[in-house]
Amino acid sequence: MTVEKNRPAETGSQGMPPLEPLRGGPRTAVSAAVARRLFRAAVGRLAVTVIEEPTGHRLGRGGPVMRLHRPEEFYARLGRDGLIGFGESYMTGAWDTDDLAGFLTVPAARMATLVPPSLQRLRALVTPRLPHHQRSTEANSQANISHHYDLSNDLFALFLDETLSYSAALFDTSTTQVAKGPGSVGDHHVATPPEPVDHDDPRRHGPDFAEAQGRKIERLLDEAGVTEGSRVLEIGTGWGELAIRAARRGASVHTITLSVEQLELAEERIAAAGFSDRVHVELMDYRALAATGATYDAVVSVEMIEAVGHEFWGTYFSTIDQVLAPGGRVSIQAITMPHDRMLVTRDSHTWINKYIFPGGFLPSVEVIDEITRAETTIRLVDQLEMGDHYAETLRRWDRRFLAQRDAVLGLGFDDMFMRVWHFYLAYSQAGFASGYLNVSQLTFTRETP
């Protein structure tokens, strides 16, 4: 698959902001000393091993090994920039590990308690806030999306499966029904965890991966009631796989995106599948939909709400409510986080914001339910949790990404980019493997009088 316009972004190094140099002085020394003390106290409670070089000093209760090659730099960056500094010190090689996802999974499972409660109250004073230019306004959103999705279609093709699905796969349809609990608003289903599978050639995915991605999409379409003659709106086109499958069912599809690169390749794939007459791909912000006057029998969206920003969740769901035809259904796949952590982190600027997804922020299932009840006529009627399936999806992406190192460098990306994206994929895998993050397929119908 070749797209002539693919290229790395030209802002900074491979589209990344420049890495700020460390500066000496009393403030750096004090913050580094505080960071050292807090880090050592936290690690002392965790099932990991941290080795400080060159002294060989060991920390932790035993488990995945982290090697601090340059402890002074690590503590200085951690003290100055917190978790952003933690990621940046990995980028520079100040620390390393043979099992990045495995190591990160341990602290991720205890994220809410790593810092003492007395110091967590000071979070708002020391945690950087999301820059104004990254707020997901209509003026900023396309630049935010372009930062990530317009890097290079060829880059994504190197580690995704043949469907070019950049979201959690569903490896098995077997589920367990569970009662209301954290991360849900009622009785719901949890997908049976998949068994990790490694294929002989790490540069290729096995056929089960594309099947799992297709299974995810088909379930969303089933939940939205997409059949012959359905008018479907997709918010967030990706590379067109969902639109193609909806058209294959006999639906007419309007799919919108803010990524120029994705739009071009999606149109090519849709044409190649023979569905150009059924699918209209448009460069459009979701907020512009209401003004069109169009209505749809089904609205679907896969992992797009994460880019909306907490200030605009109400606008997002109100727009869906406005364009949904009587009797219509909504099915979205959403990455979520615990409600209490969402409340305390919603104005934070994170490593993921800075280097991967500008303006992004994860909702909780609870806040989605609250907003739709307060501001719309649609109601959450079904939830399928599948966080373990995302951990496996990310593990496969990361394995293939690393195996394609020469090809990634051949596209014009550099070693720093490799470390950034390995950290991003492993960091995300750890979030799902630990249960700190989750992903659900959420189905909504309009409330009846």
pLDDT digits (tens, 9 = 90+) for 169-204: 999 889 999 999 889 999 999 999 998 888 889 989
Position 4 confidence tier, pLDDT thresholds 50, 70, 90: very low
The answer on pLDDT for 305 being more than 60 is yes
- What pLDDT does residue 124 have? 55
The answer on pLDDT for 10 being more than 60 is no
The answer on pLDDT for 390 being more than 90 is yes
The answer on pLDDT for 294 being more than 50 is yes
- What pLDDT does residue 119 have? 59
- What pLDDT does residue 242 have? 98
- What pLDDT does residue 9 have? 35
SS (H, E, C) the chain: CCCCCCCCCCCCECCECCCCCCCCCHHHHHHHHHHHHHHHHHHCCCCCEEEECCCCEEECCCCCEEEECCHHHHHHHHHHHHHHHHHHHHHCCCEEECCHHHHHHHHHCCHHHCCCHHHHCCHHHHCCECCHHHCCCCCCHHHHHHHHHCCCHHHHHHHCCCCCCCCCCCCCCCEEEECCCCCCCCCEEEECCCCCCCCCCCCCCCHHHHHHHHHHHHHHHHHCCCCCCCEEEEECCCCCHHHHHHHHCCCEEEEEECCHHHHHHHHHHHHHCCCCCCEEEEECCHHHCHHHCCCEEEEEEECCHHHCCHHHHHHHHHHHHHHEEEEEEEEEEEEECCHHHHHHHCCECCHHHHHCCCCCCCCCHHHHHHHHHHHCCEEEEEEEECHHHHHHHHHHHHHHHHHCHHHHHHCCCCHHHHHHHHHHHHHHHHHHHHCCCEEEEEEEEECCC
- What pLDDT does residue 8 have? 36
Q: What is the pLDDT of residues 391-403, one digit of tens each?
A: 999 999 999 999 9
- What pLDDT does residue 163 have? 98
Position 427 confidence tier, pLDDT thresholds 50, 70, 90: very high
116-128 mean pLDDT: 60
Q: What is the pLDDT of residues 21-51, one digit of tens each?
A: 888 899 899 999 999 999 999 999 999 999 9
- What pLDDT does residue 344 have? 87
Q: What is the pLDDT of residues 222-236, one digit of tens each?
A: 999 999 999 999 999
- What pLDDT does residue 18 have? 83
The answer on pLDDT for 3 being more than 60 is no
User: By percentage, how much of the chain surpasses pLDDT 90?
Assistant: 80
- What pLDDT does residue 310 have? 95
Position 14 confidence tier, pLDDT thresholds 50, 70, 90: low
321 or 137: whose pLDDT is higher?
321
Position 111 confidence tier, pLDDT thresholds 50, 70, 90: confident
- What pLDDT does residue 391 have? 98
276-282 mean pLDDT: 98
Position 12 confidence tier, pLDDT thresholds 50, 70, 90: very low
The answer on pLDDT for 97 being more than 90 is yes
Q: What is the pLDDT of residues 57-74, one digit of tens each?
A: 999 999 999 999 999 999
7 or 350: whose pLDDT is higher?
350
- What pLDDT does residue 134 have? 81
Average pLDDT of every residue of the chain: 92
